[in-house]
Structures are given as C-alpha cells and as structure tokens.
Structure 1
C-alpha cells in the first residue's frame, strides 16, 4: 500500500543532544553555536531535519527535560538570538529544525508551579495535580514514579501532595484544566512562528491520569506499584490530542513524532492514521527494551534475534495499513546500538554498517542519533562517579539499599545506562575528541582516537561513508521510501531480511547478525546495489554482512 507522499517521509532526521554535540566556548558543554558550526557536516551527510533535544531554560535536574521557561534558552546553550541564527543557518542549507515539546510536566521552578504551590487558593493551583494526604496520612496513592520512589511529593507549606510521573522536580501539568492546554498550545505556536517545523512530543502518553486515582496492585513484597495503570495511555487521552491537532498541528502543518510508550498495535490508527490520526510518526520501544521485563528493577534479561526482528516487523506490518513510523536504533535515552545489537569489538565497523542497513531501509523515516553514523560505542566507566544520569544514579542507590552488590549494579549500568548515549561526540583524534577545549561535562569514550568523524571522512569503507551511501540510495529510489514491506527469515536466529516493493521495483535487504559465515538464498534476479563487504561468496553472507539487491530481471550481480 502506498500512502500519500510527504516531505517528512522522504527526509532523513538527525538527533542532536546539544550538551554533548559541540562546545564553542570552552566551558565543556555543547551549545547552539557549536551546532551551527557543524551544519555543513550534517548537510554533507545528507540530513534534511534536525531534532534538537531541549535547550530551554532549565535547572537541569533531568538534563533539560525539566523546563523552567519555555520561551528562554538556557544560558549554557546560548541565547534566543543563537536559536534564531540556528534556524536561519539551517534553512539556508535546506535543513528544518524540530524541537522537543515537553508538555507533560514542567520544572518545579517554572513560574506556573511557583504560583501553584504558593497557596491552595492561588488561581494556578489547579494547573498541577494536588491531593490531600490519604486516609493513613501518607501519599494519596501507591503509584511509583518512573524514576523510582513515590510519584507524590509532600509540600509542607500547603499540606498537600503534588504528582510527578518522573522526578520530584518535574511536577505534572493538569491537562484536565483547559487553561493549561491553551497555554501549551500558545507556546507551540510561538515556536512555530520563529521557524520551527514541528515537534518531537516527549512522554505524551502520560498526560491523561485516571481521575479516580485508585490504589494499584503492587508486586509481591513491594508497597509501590507501577503508575502505568493510572497515568499511561489512559482512556480519554485522545480527546486532548485531537484538540492539540485541531488547534495547532493541523493549521500549522506541523510535523510530529510522538514518544508514545504504552500504545499497543491495536491503537495505531488512533495515533497515526493519515486522515484521522493525531501524529505524523511514532517512536515505539519494543526493540530497544527487549532486555527489560516486569519484575525487579535493574535486572538485565537476555533476548534473541527473533525477538528483535519481531519487534520491528510487527510495527512495520501494522503501520503499513494506517500510517508511518519513525525508524531508530538509539537515542539519548538508550545505549549505543552497536554495543547492544552488534559487536563493538572486532566487527564494530561491519556490525554498525549491517545494523544501519537493516533498520534504515524499512518503511518509515530514519532517525540517526549523533555519533551513530560513526559507530560510537558504549563508554567504559571506572565507577559510579563517572555516571551523571539521574535514573542510573537512582537505580544504583536503590540497588545497594536492597542488598545488591556494587559489582552487580555497575554491571547493569554498563549495559543500560542512558549516559552511554550521552558521552560527547567524537569529532577528531585531538584533545577531548574535538568536542571542547575545556573539561567535558561527561566522560569522553577513550576510543575516540580510533573512532571519530575526521578519520572516517578520509576512509571510504568507514561507518560514516556507509551511512552516506544508504542515504543516497534511499533518496534516489522511491520504492525504498514508499514500497511495501515483506519480512524474510523471520524464524532465523542468524539472518534478518526483508523485501521492499513498489510497482515493478523490488529491493531485497539481507543481513547476517553473527560472527560466522551463514548460508543464504540470494535473489535470483537481483543486482547488488550496496554491500559492506568487499569480498562476497555467492550463497553465503560473511560475518555481519549487509547486502542490498535490486531486482533487474537480468540475473546479473555487480557492485
């Protein structure tokens, strides 16, 4: 099924975590002028859209996702004039900017919340969620925040609790209040008036709460229960989202990609249907959270290749009927994909290229996270002192308090900490990887002399050059954008593959996820369009080989 064309379907998106991208003034923190200085690199890579993580004024309890002022830029990132310059300089290179829309919560230092907590009868009291203590004098419910601990924080001055789905310094806005919704919509319009093309919509499925605020069933031996049953994709949320679409998104022709945990495949039409759905695209988490299961926290669960492929293919099949996906393997909330899904040792280059081919040519808009195009890896940390992420530090502390060993907790963080995706961008083999002239805010991966953009620009068999070739291949072939998706080797624990077809055009993608040669059926009438190995054996895929064939009907096979 070919859905209607759209510029954002044909685009390539690059995600920037500004704190770690490029520092321009030597304070060790990336900034907007640093982003501007690298726009030519992004243009040459083939990027059409930049998603920039929050640069709003913030106390930085959760690295910018706790916003103090939606209309100001955090000083360490620059000024509003710098943001305007970025928008203009990007537009001059044919690049659009998408910003993070963080509308489930604000910082507890936001002027709205300062007013809200000042007294029970303040006009903005109902802009947030306040409840008196429960019958036992404790928190109103047993809900646990996503960052651990109770989702309720007691305010001594007014004698009530406020709700926070995330950090206690991130109080949730009360979306039941129409004044709150209108304030959010006006803020969105303000940014679009400045030239923003749309939004990556953060944690949007948490905005609706079960208004009965019930006690939820907790796991055996625990007092607190996951708040998902009361504050994740709750009935009635679509009323809010459709209002947002009607009032802001549709009139402004905004492109949107929703961070939407808790949305099952059965609800895809509500969120993504091209006529009646709310958002342009959606991030799903099934493939990146394969190693997480219900039960005790900070426990790493093994997974199989078939689990990974099933997680991606299921969404491919479902969205083919209704809408469009955002394709990704890593971002600022997850570890490096080559360390998780590939081999970050001997076969780092090959496996990073193979993973790129596998996800990049599926049906949807590909997102590249900064450094992914270099095959950046998880960073070895010497101890808990090297970590910064609020969630990692909380898990570590709670693990030790529950009797788990330091060794066990550090082993978990080595596999799951969000800090692995946040280490500074590796631009060169020079001082501090070319990221900063000062002391970097977070540890730089010591492998930067071998893995950096400057070196890979010179090496045409590098991960960076393979991404450039993938981008060109997708841009030049409509079937790789709009074609149907048909999975191959669904039951294999070694090979991943699929076919994209449109009209009489047919493309086959075959990937070996192992360190060993694997027998594979090659397309009978396929011409090899791109491969990450120089020497191929007919009928076999080399270790971590990715080969892409275009059916031509003449049976030849050439590079």
Structure 2
C-alpha cells in the first residue's frame, strides 16, 4: 500500500510539474550544436598547465542530509554509495565528503573525537572503504574534510590534557591562568571573542586554568607550536585515510593553525562589549606557511589535493598568492570567501544587511579571474556550501517557479564558463532554495543559529519587534538552509528516508516540485540544464577552464558580460542578473558575426540581439 500511494502521489506531481515547465519554458530550445566540436585539449593545453583538480567538477556532500539508507532519519555512507551513479551521470569528477568522523555533533561533525573512527549513524570504516572503492570504480575521485585546528573536548588527547597540569599532553592545547582584577574577580587571559560563543576561553574547574577555543567551548584549539602534537595530527587525521586511498582533503580553517601565542588583547572596537573581534591574532600567524609546508610534504607523497578554506581572511591577491602559488605555495587551491561574504554582514550603524549588489558581485568574481590569468595561482568557483544560505535565494530569483528555474540556469551558465575549479553543493543542481521565513526559529539546529536565537531572546526580552528583527538577521545568514535533507523524489520524505520516519531536519516545503526524480525526466529542468552545461564545460575545456578572461562593461549594471579566449577560439557569456528586461549592444560587437549560440536558457536569443529578458543568459562561441 505504501508503494501504491507513493506512485500515485508521484504521478500527480510529475504531471503538474511537466505542465508547469511546458507553460513557463514554451520558448526554450535545446542547445544549438551547429559547428560544435569536441576540442582536442591534449594538443592545445601545455602539459605543465594541466592538473586534474583544475579541470574537475567537485560535488560537496553533507552526510547527514544526503541519503538515509537504514531508516533512522540520518543520512549515511551507504546512502552516498547508492547515489554515486547519479553523481557520475551529472558530470561530477570528485566528491567531497563533509566530516564523517566520530563526533558528539556539537558542530555537525566539525568537533571530532576520533579521526580514525566513523560517526556510528553514518556507518563504519569498512563502509567508508567501500565508498572510496566504489567512487574510484566509476572513474571519480574522493576527498575528505580535514578538521585540525581543533578537536572535540571528548577526544582522548584533550581528556588527557585536562586531566592535570603535569600530564604529557597538557601542552597539546592552549592553557592559560586567569587574570584577576583589583576586586578579586576572575577574567579570561585576554578579551578575544570566539565565533560561536563569547569569550574564546573556558574555565576548567579541575585544573583551574582557561583553555582556548576560537569556536565552541566543546571545540578546544590544538597547539600547533608543539611538534609532537603536529605529528600526531598528521598520522591520525591525514595518513590514516590517505593510506586507504582518498585523493586529498578540503582543509578546514587552513589559516588558523599558527596564532599569536603571546595572546595580546584585541583592540577595543565595540566599547559596550567585554569581548572583542580578534581574528587578526589567531589567523595567518608567523608559522602558518611552515606548518602547511609540513603537510604538503605528506600530501605530495600521495599526489593528494590540498584544497584549503581561507576563513576570516583579508581577501587580497597579495595575501592569497603565498598560499596557492604553483612555485612556492603549500596549497593547490583555496576557497576564497570574498564573494560569499557579500551582503552577509551588517555594517556598523546599518539597520539591516545590504541587498544583493550585482556590480560588487561582478567585481569580486572578475578580480579572481584576473588573478588566475596573471599569476601562477589557481581559484575555485562556487556559490554555496554547507556554511551558507542557498545561492538561488541570494543571487537568483525568489519569485515564480519559472523565474527560479530561469535564474538557476543563468547561474549555471555563468559558473560553467569561468576559469577555475568548479564546486557544486548538494541540491544546487535542483535549485534548492532557503527555508521559508515563516518557519519558527526552533527548526534551525546549527550551533550558531541556536546561540543567535538565545542571545536575541535575552537581548529583546518582551520586545517582539526587536526579536523579529534579530530573527530576520538569522534567517538571512543561517547555515541551516544548506543542511535541509536532499530531495530525491515526490514520495514520503522526498525519498531521503523511509515513510513514517522523522528526518533529523525538516524537509524544505518545496520538495514536491524540486526533486531529482522529477527533474531527471524533464529535459527542460534545471538538473538537465546543469548536466548539459557540465558536458559543454568539458568539451570546451580550453576556453572555459583555461581561457583568458576579459570583463566587458555595459550600460546596464545588472548585465554580466565576459569573454574567454584560448588561441584563436573565443567564447562570450552574457547574463541578466535581474528580474527586468535589459538592453545591450549584442554579441556581434564583441566577438563578431561568426559567433554562434552554444547555450541559452530561453531559446529565442538569435532573434533578440538588443535585449535580454529577465534572468536570461546566453553563451556564444567561435572556433575560427
């Protein structure tokens, strides 16, 4: 009976969605493949420039929310294995698995209590080995998250460290005595603020000292100044898994390992607060490149990828190059969060966060495209991840289904034709969007969100208007949006888990019209469009992965226009990042009359040279 009900619901939903797509995309045409040829990249791209990780499309998987195989409401490793064919068919080359290690889950696995064991709801080490092998069997690669700035306070290293001041592992973490004021009140060693709670120090009653944590109190920072600690980290978190065949790491908070260990007070920038922002003291310390160099020696022995997360970083070309220079850097490539930060911070004295700003978006993307062209460094291309709201909600349309699909295709064209290592996050290919604002705050489970709600209630007390304003701010930036379960079909629980099982997080309300099964069977869907764009990216690899970038100014600031060029081949991408029709000069004035439309998201662009409809995009190519 469950199967019959599921098929009935699925049939009704498919009919409704196909009808909606036919109505809203009635002018859509398939890609124009006139004179399209698969390019011979091996002949045209110098061997010293080519790297598998430059050409790869990486897909980030959040294990708890991807696919539940055993009906406990939590995604797991066997669930990931069951969907590898889907990822292969999508055009994915590398899967990135977010932390799967044993953890109390204070911060969803970024608080690790044992690097060599798997979080039991996810599976076992044997399951992970099966995932590694199954991924390689399909010709794909696999990378893991490397979380080594801190451990869980439940890790055996920290348990020993806090057991006494004389313990051999005492110095594996940062312990400092209290400061006392003239009235005999105890205070932390300095005024640093942590990211999740305040302050960045927690008092330990047993040994009567404070320990440092730049994140939650349950996530104490490891002392990288101690050589013995570093080698234990390398052996347990890196070599253990490299020996089992993984292809590299996404390295969490890669610039935090070296700190100013004199622990000075941070400048007082918020006089009304006891703690102060202190990122300048625990990021990019004096030994950071030394430590990363040690890691690189290990990674190079295995030919492994080093993809670093530069968090809370001054995003300038001069500061980033030392990390990723092909000649002197210790990392292959990094996640640069300059683009992700746009509109996500409330500036001092500002009532709310800034709305999406297209010129700022274009400028940020353009400067890193130029960085890839003009230096020996490389860049990533990404619009969302497990720490951010959904890209469609931020950079696309929040309107009708038609506009959402069209804007999602526009973003796909944009990202697929830029230089860099392309990274997708699970559900991005479906156009998954943010949770509705109408949801109560209690639906959000992230430690950061929970702390924000607690502080908002304490600050606002009985002032409902104040509380709503604070919750608006939470909703705009919540990491929870990206952590809602993956939407596989129109059946119960969207196929993420079994019927009658409560998923660990609530499903987004949109799951019946945005899911894999429905979009896989629809050639006009966003999923189908992403498949085509990833195929085109590989076929035109010289242009889209390695080509020289040039930004083109237009009179309409919401248009993003750029060309890519390799040898005598050229492409032109033009997208309208707004909900209004825009005029523009046309393709011929930029790439000449020989330019042919390679991809478009409406289909009648050949007849409308001087305008672009809302959220419209086109990609042109020449081969002469």
Q: Which residue of 1 aligns with 2:407?
A: 351
Tell me the number of residue pairs that the alignment of Structure 1 and Structure 2 aligns: 552
1:298–1:450 distance in 2 versus 1, CA, 3 Å: farther
**Superimposed CA distance per residue, residues 215-273 of structure 1 (whole angstroms, 9 cap, x where no aligned partner):** 11121322211120210122331111112112x12222111211102153212221111
Q: Secondary structure at the match of 2:52?
A: coil
**Counterpart among 568, 574, 587 of residue 504 in structure 1:** 568
Q: 2:21 — aligned with what?
A: none
Match of 1:473 in 2: 536
When residues 419 and 532 of structure 1 are mapped into structure 2, their CA distance, relative to the original with a 3 A threshold, is same
Larger Rg, first or second structure (1 or 2): 2
Matched residue, 1:168:
217
Once the two structures are superposed, the pairs formed by residues 422-501 of structure 1 within 5 Å of their partners are 422-437=483-498, 438-477=501-540, 478-489=542-553, 492-501=556-565
- State how far apart, in whole Å, the 1-side matches of 2:292 and 2:560 are: 36
Change (3 A) 1:296 1:195: farther
1:275 matched to 2:327: yes
Look up the SS of the partner of 1:144 in the other structure. coil
Match of residue 557 from structure 1 = none
Q: CA RMSD in A?
A: 1.7
Match of 1:89 in 2: 134
Cα pair distance change 1:490/1:274, threshold 3 Å: farther
1:541 counterpart (612, 616, 623): 612
Residue 332 in 1 paired to residue 389 in 2? Answer: no
Distance 1:508 1:325 in 2: 20
Deviation at 1:399, TM superposition (A): 2.3
> Deviations for 1:384-432, whole angstroms, at most 9, x for unmatched residues?
1111011011112212322372211222222211000000001111101
1:119-130 to 2 correspondences below 5 Å: 119-130=164-175
Distance 1:356 1:80 in 2: 36
CA contact (8 A) 1:66 1:170 kept: yes
TM-score by length of 2: 0.86
Output the CA distance in 2 between the equivalents of 1:192 and 1:121.
34
CA displacement, residues 171-200 of structure 1 (integer Å, 9 cap, x when unaligned): 000010011111122131111110110000
TM-score with structure 1 length normalisation?
0.96
Residue 232 (structure 1) aligns with: 283
1:342 corresponds to which residue? Answer: 396
CA contact 1:306–1:491 (8 Å) conserved in 2: no
2:424 paired with 1:368: yes
**Residue in 1 aligned with 2:193?**
144
CA–CA distance in structure 1, aligned partners of residues 502 and 458 of structure 2:
32
CA shift, 1:497, in A, is 1.9
Q: Partners in 2 of 1:552 and 1:39 — Cα distance?
A: 35
Residue of structure 2 in register with 1:421 after alignment = 482
Measured against aligned partners, the alpha-carbon deviations of 1:59-116 in whole angstroms (never above 9, x if no partner) come to 0000000000000000000011100000111111011110000010000000000000
Aligned-partner Cα distance in 2 for 1:44–1:308: 31
Distance 1:353 1:236 in 2: 44
| Structure-2 change in CA distance of 1:210 and 1:511 (3 Å) | same
Q: What is residue 397 of structure 1 aligned with on the other side?
A: 454
Aligned counterpart, 1:309: 362
